[in-house]
Amino acid sequence: MSRIGMRNIEYLVCVASCGSITGAAYELGVSPSSVSAGIADLEKTLNLQLLIRHHAKGVSLTPAGERIAVRARSLLDDADQILQDAAELSQGISGEISVGVFSVLAPYVVPGLSHSLANAHPDLRVRFHELDLTELSDAVSSGRCELGIGYFFDPSATLSYELLEEVRPHLCVAANHHLANLSEVQLGDIAQEPLIMLDLPHSREYFARILDEAGINPVVSFEARSADLARAMVGRGMGVSLLNMRPASGHSVEGLPYREVEIAGDVEPARIVASWPKHARLTRRAEAVLDAARSIQVVKNSSSPKETHVKAS
State in Å, rounded, how far the first CA of the chain is from the last one: 43
- The pLDDT value recorded for residue 308 is 46
Confidence (pLDDT) at 196: 97
CA distance 297 to 112: 9
Q: Residue 59's pLDDT is what?
A: 87
What residues of the chain score a pLDDT lower than 70?
A: 1-2, 56, 87-92, 299-313
Q: What is the pLDDT of residue 306?
A: 39
Please count the residues of the chain: 313
Look up the pTM and report it. 0.67
Per the CB < 8 A criterion, the answer to whether 299 and 151 are in contact is no
Torsion of CA 35, 36, 37, 39, to 10 degrees: 80
CB atoms within 10 A of CB 18: 18
List the domains of the chain with CATH numbers: 6-90 (1.10.10.10), 92-167+270-310 (3.40.190.10), 170-263 (3.40.190.10)
| CB-count burial class (<10 Å; 0-12, 13-18, 19+) for 181 | exposed
pLDDT score for 210: 96
Q: Give me the pLDDT at residue 147, please.
A: 96
CA dihedral 196, 200, 206, 209 (to 10 degrees): 60
List Cα–Cα distances, 57 to 20, 46, 105, 155, 188, in angstroms.
8, 25, 62, 53, 82
Cα separation, 60 vs 74, whole angstroms: 20
The confidence score (pLDDT) of residue 200 equals 87
Which pLDDT score, from 0 to 100, does residue 1 have? 42
